Homo-oligomer: A and B are copies of this chain.
Amino acid sequence: MGTSVSDEPDANESDIHSLPSSRRHTENLPSLYKVGFPPRKKLMSEFTETLKETFFADDPLREYKDQPKSKKLLLGIQSFFPIFNWGRDYNLTKFKGDVIAGLTIASLCIPQDIGYAKLANLDPQYGLYSSFVPPLIYAVMGSSRDIAIGPVAVVSLLLGTLLQNEIDPVTNKEEYQRLAFTATFFAGVTQAALGFLRLGFLIDFLSHAAIVGFMAGAAITIALQQLKGFLGIQKFTKKSDIVSVMKSVWGSVHHGWNWQTILIAASFLTFLLVAKYIGKKKKRFFWVPAIAPLISVILSTLLVYLTRADKDGVQIVRKIEQGINPSSVSQIYFSGSYLTKGIRIGIVAGMVALTEAVAIGRTFASMKDYQLDGNSEMVALGTMNIVGSMTSCYVATGSFSRSAVNFMAGCQTAVSNMVMSVVVLLTLLVITPLFKYTPNAILAAIIISAVIGLIDFEAALLIWKIDKFDFVACMGAFFGVVFVSVEIGLLIAVSISFAKILLQVTRPRTALLGNLPRTTIYRNIEQYPEAKKVPGVLIVRVDSAIYFSNSNYIRERILRWLRDEEEKVSMKDMPRINFLIVELSPVIDIDTSGIHALEDLFKTLKKREIELVLANPGPVVIEKLQASHFMEIIGHDNIFLTVGEAVMTCASKAKEEV
């Protein structure tokens, strides 16, 4: 019946009558009873293995194993340019899917780009530029088939905020743009560097919960920013926090608002939301919300053109530079005070962009089940932004909404990105002038309807249900963004994430174990009220590796368990505690500080005439106990394979003493 008992690491014998039997068996099959020492590794191999697990966890070189040189070269090229990989078996049917998907995301991205550029305080054409070059680069280098590349709301906002802290985008437009390209360049460098140095795992330190909160906060902030265009307000605050935005909104109620603008914006927003709803309800109508923005742009533009509503104060785009991306190589700051600023901003924006892109990539990769090499993916994204920064693009990355549309439209490969960028190219060459009469209100409406999707109530609710601490991180990031600023929100998100890690490694769990009646199973007494304490013996389980960061805590915690127990004992005048059994099953590793903590514990207990007994140390632990000679100090016969055996021996010892 052993099955019954092994639902805890400290599971021991199971048979109710196993006390005697187990003893017998111990003689019968000794081979089974020793803790197996893993074959001692050579230092070098140990070192290389650790290195491999840390930096090459995804084992990128395995295809290269025992392959001819030529093959290796090919594989090498393919790993940097996956297009050579999927390109070979590319066919017409796939192409069809890609074209449809490409056209769909193009129709979605064009109006979004124009709006997002505003968030970054840049002229509309820069949004379009960023949807032309980067997707092409990515299509050649990227390994995700579903991600849709281009400017995204959150990164645009973040970049805009960080940049305008340094330079005023209105008065010093020239410098502002230059700094934007500089930041984009170093964002790319950061991303590529993380990939090359195989430090991709660093972005895992931004927890899912923090991202959810951050995204929602950013969405609210962006939506609030749109009130300017939505209400046709002329003078609007530069700050992004809800308080100052609301102030300048209400401040301009009487003179600032423009009813025609509001009318257009409101009606088209309703249209967009309805389209969104339809798309949600019926999956096969996914294209409705996808093309709705473009339709509303066309309609509203016509409307304004015919009614000349711009004469009545309806603000319009006025002018989008025609033609393809001009070079911006010469504009990047490679010296001076702006260099360092550019680097700082670039790193932040680059990391955030990376987090978003990688999250998307992973999601769809697991949906379609294909391997995604996180690190070479980062190299691709980095290169794309570096090239982008030299062709008048600002930070581009994978867009949640557009990638989803891309996926639903049945994209097969990165070709859909190429199709999109061709469409954007044509737009830049031919139809930008037609945007002249497009009212800003529409862009506002489009952005609002777009960012709403970033607010994920279900996720937040789930986080609340699952992990309260995560929820704190989530809310911290959210309120940080909404009430202070996007970078503060980000800072809060990161620091709370780190705080959690520190907490995890400084304050591990410990549990008091008791005996389940009629068995020799020992369980957490909090979890199993029926578990009974063994008189004269205290059994504590440590639920974590013992490292320098928690060794002192664990030592003191164990002593506290003991102290509390002794008080109880003395009150109920039960037999005093003679043995402290520490169950080590979950302790997978221990370092020098940990060993020292055990030694200190041993000394302290010795002073109090309490015997320290260890139960079930894992392979690594037992190895280190021996290496450190703590085994001799505590004595081999005080280390047991199971709590059950330990208790039995303690009991018999106690008898002898009596």
What are the residues of chain B within 8 A of A607 when measuring CB–CB?
Answer: 368-369
Query: Does A497 count as interface, using CB distance less than 8 angstroms?
Result: yes
The contact string, 1 if C-beta is below 8 Å from chain B, for chain A 507-527, is 101000000100111011011
B553/A57 in contact, CB under 8 A: yes
B9/A619 in contact, CB under 8 A: no
What are the residues of chain B within 8 A of A616 when measuring CB–CB?
Answer: 6-8
Q: A15-B15, A465-B628 are in contact. List 15 more A-B contacts (CB 8 A).
A: A1-B22, A2-B14, A4-B22, A4-B25, A4-B33, A6-B616, A6-B644, A9-B9, A9-B586, A36-B523, A36-B528, A38-B526, A46-B468, A57-B557, A204-B553
Subset of 22 A-B contacts with CB under 8 Å: A1-B21, A1-B25, A2-B642, A3-B13, A3-B33, A4-B26, A4-B32, A14-B22, A36-B524, A36-B528, A46-B468, A204-B552, A207-B593, A208-B548, A366-B604, A369-B607, A466-B624, A466-B627, A467-B592, A467-B624, A543-B588, A586-B588
Query: Does A545 count as interface, using CB distance less than 8 angstroms?
Result: yes
Indicate whether A603 sits within 8 Å of B36 (C-beta atoms), given known contacts A3-B25, A466-B595, A503-B54: no
Nearest chain B residue, comparing its CB with the CB of A550 = B204
Query: Does A455 count as interface, using CB distance less than 8 angstroms?
Result: no
Which chain A residues in 277-319 approach chain B with CB under 8 Å? Answer: none
One of B2, B201, B367 near A5 (C-beta < 8 A): B2
Bound complex: CA A29 to CA B14 (Å): 12
Indicate whether A59 sits within 8 Å of B4 (C-beta atoms), given known contacts A15-B15, A209-B548, A547-B504: no
What are the residues of chain B within 8 A of A528 when measuring CB–CB?
Answer: 36
Q: How far is the CB of A255 from chain B (nearest CB, A)?
A: 47
Q: How far is the CB of A280 from chain B (nearest CB, A)?
A: 21
Query: Does A250 count as interface, using CB distance less than 8 angstroms?
Result: no
Bound complex: CA A12 to CA B585 (Å): 14
The contact string, 1 if C-beta is below 8 Å from chain B, for chain A 356-370, is 000000110011110
A507/B57 in contact, CB under 8 A: yes
Query: Does A556 count as interface, using CB distance less than 8 angstroms?
Result: yes
What are the residues of chain B within 8 A of A59 when measuring CB–CB?
Answer: 560
Q: How far is the CB of A344 from chain B (nearest CB, A)?
A: 20
Nearest chain B residue, comparing its CB with the CB of A523 = B36
Query: Does A35 count as interface, using CB distance less than 8 angstroms?
Result: yes
Bound complex: CA A607 to CA B26 (Å): 46
The contact string, 1 if C-beta is below 8 Å from chain B, for chain A 88-105, is 000000000000000000
B505/A367 in contact, CB under 8 A: no
Q: How far is the CB of A589 from chain B (nearest CB, A)?
A: 8
Interface centre among A7, A462, A549 (most CB of B within 10 A): A7
Bound complex: CA A46 to CA B468 (Å): 9
B204/A548 in contact, CB under 8 A: yes
Query: Does A260 count as interface, using CB distance less than 8 angstroms?
Result: no
Bound complex: CA A501 to CA B545 (Å): 11
A547/B12 in contact, CB under 8 A: no
A18/B2 in contact, CB under 8 A: yes
Q: How far is the CB of A138 from chain B (nearest CB, A)?
A: 21
Query: Does A392 count as interface, using CB distance less than 8 angstroms?
Result: no
Query: Does A641 count as interface, using CB distance less than 8 angstroms?
Result: yes
A641/B6 in contact, CB under 8 A: yes
B505/A591 in contact, CB under 8 A: no
One of B8, B506, B524, B628 near A462 (C-beta < 8 A): B628
Bound complex: CA A592 to CA B47 (Å): 32
What are the residues of chain B within 8 A of A543 when measuring CB–CB?
Answer: 588
Q: How far is the CB of A17 from chain B (nearest CB, A)?
A: 11
Q: How far is the CB of A624 from chain B (nearest CB, A)?
A: 5
